[in-house]
Amino acid sequence: MEQQQSSFKEKERTDLREPQHFKVIIFNDDFTTMEFVVKILTTIFFKSAAEAETLMLQVHKSQSAVVGIYTYDIAQSKVQKATRMAREENFPLRLTVAPEEE
């Protein structure tokens, strides 16, 4: 039997790009305590106590703040964890994921 040669060529992909990054935004509300916001920032977003305090005050004064920039899956996961924790404590804390402007 004859062996047939394939007319297909393998193409090597060389245009690798870094994944798109997304910012996680936390919003101010009149019910979520400042202490709880600091807890979320330290436990889920791994901010230092001082950085968490600064971000919490920024949210309080400016109505929102970017708490981190991540790949989409990580950003979504962190928002879901924070939202779940807030609901368990009966807080209406709101966070969103938005594309990072370049």
Task: Kindly give the confidence (pLDDT) of every residue in the chain, 102 residues in length, as a single tens digit, with 9 standing for 90 and above.
Answer: 555 666 666 767 677 788 899 999 999 999 999 999 999 999 999 999 999 999 999 999 999 999 999 999 999 999 999 999 999 999 999 999 999 986
pLDDT of residue 2: 56
Q: Is 21 helix (H, G, I), strand (E, B) or coil?
A: strand
Would residue 12 count as lying in a domain? Answer: no
Output the domain CATH number for residue 55.
3.30.1390.10
The confidence score (pLDDT) of residue 12 equals 72
**pTM for the whole structure:** 0.82
Structural domain that includes position 81: 30-99
Going by C-alpha positions, the residue among 92, 82, 3, 76 that lies closest to residue 43 is: 82
Whether 36 is in a domain gets the answer yes
Please give the pLDDT value at position 5.
63
C-beta separation of 40 from 85 below 8 A? yes
